[in-house]
Structure 1
Amino acid sequence: MEPAGQISLRPATRADFDLIRRWLARPDIQEWWGPVSATEAEVNMALSSGLAICRVIEAEGVPVGYAHAVDATLWGENLPDELEPGTWDLDLFIAAEDQRGRGVGQIALAKLREEVFATTLAVAVCVFPSVKNERAVRAYEKAGFRWQRVWHDPQTGPAWFMVARRGD
């Protein structure tokens, strides 16, 4: 496939929630992100929190996915014990099938990670891709994330706990 064109992240607002909900209801997105009720709640919490960066991913000005970065403490206590205080959790998906496999997710991830480190005091960022989603794991590795261990996500089951530290 052709490489991705101009990729940008714009602030997600409540006005975007219907579009994001439609994406979250799709089976392919649920396979990546988890059950729709849990993911809708996660996006709602992120959009309502002052401790989150919520973005719509655009390719050439067209919405193609969603991303957010959240101070991991927002998720409560059900996190790996070795999660360092000051770590932000990053999540994203590319909903537009024609944009997958073209580097859009990689670019969006790099931009979101850069924004977190430029605008917060985060010491690290983390991701929790399903052990079944090897494509995502490889993308995170390319983006500088390192495996810590397998962690049991209460919503989606076994997931890799992966971390990238500030300055890596």
Structure 2
Amino acid sequence: MSYRFRPATPADLPLLRRWIAAPHVAEWWDAEDPCDESDLADPSVRRWIVEPGGAPFAYAQDYDPHAEPGHHFADLPRGARGIDQFIGEAAMTGRGHGTAFLRQRVAELFAEGAPAIGTDPHPDNARAIAVYRKVGFVAYGAPLVAPWGLVQPMVARRGA
């Protein structure tokens, strides 16, 4: 299956708010809005609505870790990207979509030239960590406290 990553727009904000309030997302994602209209204009973060066959079911974002001073991925090479995502529609979880769309997105970022991609799930989020490992991510140091909470940094490298 192929997934479409279309840019998130202000019209998607109600959908994103509904998804982020869902228990399976709220458990791991900050309860605040994932973004607002001004955030959508930030060139250092690209926000995506993920659609298999035209029906939105997930959110993804990729960002420049060098754009934020002191970011824990700032030591990755220039051009590296950080990523975050969640499946918003609960009925779509546990069916392989997370692994599949993440694998596709990682391949796209590498094809765009990213030498490495970082992500930082909560260390207790075993399901997310297992998905990242399937796609080629490995632990990148010990868990640490980021401004948004406890995280386990993980990195995938192009060609690895």
Same fold (TM over 0.5): yes
State the distance in 2 between where 1:49 and 1:81 align: 18
Distance change >3 Å, CA 34–CA 50, structure 1 → 2: same
Are positions 1:40 and 2:35 aligned together?
yes
State the distance in 2 between where 1:115 and 1:53 align: 13
Considering Cα pairs closer than 8 Å and 6+ residues apart, tell me whether 1 or 2 has the greater RCO: 1
Are positions 1:65 and 2:58 aligned together?
yes
Note if contact 1:94-1:100 (Cα within 8 Å) is conserved in structure 2.
Answer: yes
* Unaligned residue ranges in structure 2 (runs of 5+): none
Partner in structure 2 of residue 14 of structure 1 = 10
Q: Where is the helix percentage greater, Structure 1 or Structure 2?
A: 1
Which residues in structure 2 correspond to 1:16-165 (within 5 Å)?
16-37=12-33, 39-40=34-35, 45=39, 47-79=40-72, 82-119=75-112, 121-149=113-141, 150-157=143-150, 159-165=151-157
Distance change >3 Å, CA 115–CA 166, structure 1 → 2: same
Moved more, 16-25 or 141-150: 16-25
Q: Where is the strand percentage greater, Structure 1 or Structure 2?
A: 1
Q: Show CA shifts across 1:138-167 (max 9, x none).
A: 00000000111222222222x111000112
- After TM superposition, the score normalised by the length of structure 1 is 0.82
Partner in structure 1 of residue 159 of structure 2 = 167
**AA partner of residue 114 (structure 1):** A
Report % sequence identity: 33
State the distance in 1 between where 2:157 and 2:70 align: 21
SS at match of 1:62: coil
User: CA RMSD of the aligned region, Å?
Assistant: 2.2
* Unaligned residue ranges in structure 1 (runs of 5+): none
Equivalent pairs counted in the alignment come to: 159
Runs of 4+ in 1 over 4 A off after TM superposition: none
